[in-house]
Amino acid sequence: MIKKILQFLLVLVSYQGFSQETIKTYLSGTDKDHTKQWDFYCTAGPKSGVWTKIPVPSNWELQGFGSYNYGHDKDKAKEQGIYRHEFSTGKITGKKVFLVFEGAMTDTKVTVNGQLAGAVHQGGFYRFKYDITKLLKPAGKNLLEVTVDKMSANTSINNAERKSDFWVFGGIFRPVYLETVPDKFIERVAVNARADGSFALDVYAQHLSTGDVIEAQVKKLNGENVGKAFSIKADPTDSTQHLKSAFSHPLLWSSEFPNRYQVVVKIKNKQNTLHQIKQKFGFRTLDLRNGDGFYVNGAKMILKGVNRHSFWPETGRTLSKAVHLMDVQLMKEMNMNAVRMSHYPPDAEFLDVCDSLGLYVINELTGWQAKYDNTVGHRLVKELVVRDVNHPSIIFWANGNEGGFNTDLDNDYALYDPQKRTVIHPWEKFNGTDTKHYPDYNYMVKAATSGQEVFFPTEFMHALYDGGAGAALDDFWNQILVHPHAAGGFIWALVDENVIRTDKNNIYDGDGNHAPDGIVGPHREKEGSFYAIKEIWSPVFVDLPKIDQNFNGQISIANRFAFTGLDKCTFKWKLLNFPAAVATETKAAIVASGTATSNLKPGTKGTLFLNLPATWAQSNALYLTAYGPDQKEIFTWSWPISTAQSIAGKQEKTTSGLSVKTEENGQSLLVKQDGNTYYFDKTTGYLEKVIKSATTISLSKGPLLAGVNTVLKNFSFKTEGQKTTVESDYQGQGNLHAKWTFEPGKLVKLEYTFNQQGDADFMGITFNYPEDKITGVKYLGRGPYRVWKNRLKGPQFGLWHKDYNNSITGETWGYPEFKGYYSEVNWVVIENKEAPFKVYIADGDTYLQLYRPAREAAALSNNNVEPAFPDGSIGFLKGISAIGTKFQAASSMGPQSQKNKTDGKTFSGTLLFDFTH
């Protein structure tokens, strides 16, 4: 009996809640990791022609059906997917039931129990719904049948969506659910909450009666009331009910402080609450000021943004909250504050994460270099804005992209957006904005005087391959910061869109060089540019190029936050010592540590006092880490303290006192020291190999002047006392003098000087070592990522160990890559299959070159993203090459991207080789 009473009470409670709030019942799964099996039939391609099962939501290509197509309408894939699913609703007397699709590609025909639910929906990235109340059976199962055409019957949709420069898929790729509401219900609301506390609410309700009241109560997210409830008498003749109120000193929403509230909206009569909904929102004011900039809550804003495709390699555009959260956290980790939806509306859940964690969003109507016609365009704008209008994160609406602008739609956004957010045309000057795509450096310099538009390129710093968007960003960003009416910019793009091909043995496919455009890989593997961006876009700017004998523990800093005082941040420093090259361990020892404080307000500069111990100069390195108010790292800056010269100087002595001997054997000169024999070719002057006991170490063909044609003019050797020297002189397009010194009890020393004419991609000396014999390196320098001349920021000074790999950025994702240039290297251990050897670099301005990165399989014909490298495999260089982007050669990307100046300069260096320990 008690059990029956409890069941009755449970039903009663459920019914009361059911009568007042919207009930959402999923017919599909909720995301890529939580799906439901529906019956499915595909009309063409693999697994077609038979009824089977498919997970919903999903893109059917990733489930092995149909055909893959990377945009541009190449394959003209016309397959259909036919879905069937049975569901029950129970009794629905006095209720309305809506069938909601969050997204289906592309034309979607829906029937319930054999009857058409409504017009065929056209457009692949938009929420749509049908009132199916009258189509439902009062009891038993209901049959849902959905036919999805991958290609649209509307030509403009195919042009805008499916000829685009991104993967185009098919299927019900977002969730499907029922919304059950009372017969008298609130369809939706639109909030306009401003920084001054003013609050306006548009309520769209159905079937209101005279005497009904619309009531609203603003609350904190924990349910605590904020102010009093406010209400109006309903006007049944008006489709929209307008409520207003005001609040004193609300907590404002911004990317730095994403404070949110909720409003509970009710339809009430004298006896009951008939229906209620809850809507989250934020108080904030957006202001685009011509000839000035973009303002949020009265503060000038510099947008540090990225373009983000909704993408996961195994599931296409079917994602999950975990993926959305991962992407936003990665952006925040890079010190970004903005994201552009490219080139379609994202999952609503992604916008929820942007709201909660704080990212400014440009939300975009689909249209890549082609536009929707008016027939579908007006409807799709409404579907876009109605779904997303209440997200405080959204700061602009983008009406298409790169010429895909139907200007007849420009004024539609304001019809549904009481905030009247600015509509932009990404790529052109429009509506007070200049969103130029892929400007070169000269455009950045001239943009300040070219007009009054607020300047923020919605695509720049293209991240194809290892330029990765960090290359040249420092120069570009310095121009943004001095531009009188700049508002930042958006990097292309966040993620490499390489899909797992179910029809090609699960290989990664980026459609050549179309898809590997990301700062991170398809599974969010971090590339080198991730850390360059993190440093350049740090809201705490540190101005300390290097530490020298004049350093007094004071660091010039600037607060580049918009709202955050540095008193809300934490600064921690530590002094480190690193193990020697001969040691087996790699972990640094912390010598001392401490904290520092700053009270700098946003937009101001000052000095950070570290209060280091008097013995600080005896350490190897200084690290300084800034943490934000959320206690997450903003960036860690690092500086070497011990100079490369001093480190090398401590290594000169060996344990052996054996005398040095020389021997001539045909064209070879043999020098014997400490049990090792060094072979020199007298006709070239090069070291050809080193014999250690019975082991050959195949270091050869050096020192060679990199990239310059020279010939040997003189080769000589001599012994003075216990010291033997071997010298080579080369002349030609450049001059190189190399001097080897062999002396008992000391490491082998190579001193070199060179000069050359003209500008050079790289300059220095190289050696050869067989790539098939190398296994890894250990080195003291900046790492673990490689650098380019125009991407030196990001890597940390430390002791790094790297196993050999042949990773190709954007194709294999084995990061950090092994091959490339490394900066501020003090010493390196070349690990190999023969015998490891060490090289100490006795000057601090030398780069280490490790081989030549493998060529991308689909590299661009313009060669912008494959910089020049020396022919030698291991180099010690005084200058390295810059890298360009997909659309610009390095030469057009600013001062740091220019070739190295060599005229009239003599360069010198000293290396110590240890083949013994």
Q: Could you tell me where the DSSP H helices lie in 308-347? A: 321-333
In this predicted structure, what is the pLDDT of residue 656?
63
Distances from the Cα of 385 to the Cαs of 154, 293, 788, in angstroms?
22, 25, 43
In this predicted structure, what is the pLDDT of residue 9?
43
List per-block mean pLDDT (blocks of 10 residues) for the chain, which spans 917 residues. Answer: 47 48 97 98 96 98 95 78 96 94 98 98 98 93 98 96 94 98 97 98 97 98 98 96 98 98 97 96 98 97 98 98 98 98 97 98 97 98 98 98 97 98 98 97 89 95 94 97 96 97 95 94 97 98 92 97 98 97 94 98 98 95 97 97 74 68 96 94 98 95 96 97 96 96 94 95 98 98 98 98 95 94 97 97 93 86 92 97 96 98 92 91
CA gap 596, 808 in Å, rounded: 41
The amino acid sitting at 125 is F
The amino acid sitting at 504 is K
In this predicted structure, what is the pLDDT of residue 75?
61
In this predicted structure, what is the pLDDT of residue 73?
64
Distances from the Cα of 76 to the Cαs of 122, 211, 372, in angstroms?
17, 57, 19
What order of strands is seen across the sheet that includes strand 796-803? 710-720, 723-732, 734-742, 748-756, 907-914, 837-841, 827-832, 774-783, 796-803
In this predicted structure, what is the pLDDT of residue 651?
62
Contacts of 361 (CB under 8 A, 6+ apart): 338, 339, 340, 341, 351, 354, 391, 393, 394, 395
Residue with token string 């975009």: 364
In this predicted structure, what is the pLDDT of residue 856?
78
The residue among 533, 489, 559 whose CA lies nearest residue 331 is 533
SS3 string, 398-467, reads EEEECCCCCHHHCCCHHHHCCCCCCEECCECEECCEECECCCCHHHHHHHHHCCCCEECCCCECCCCHHH
In this predicted structure, what is the pLDDT of residue 862?
86
CA gap 403, 418 in Å, rounded: 27
Contacts of 42 (CB under 8 A, 6+ apart): 48, 49, 60, 65, 66, 79, 80, 81, 82
Cα-trace Rg, the chain: 33
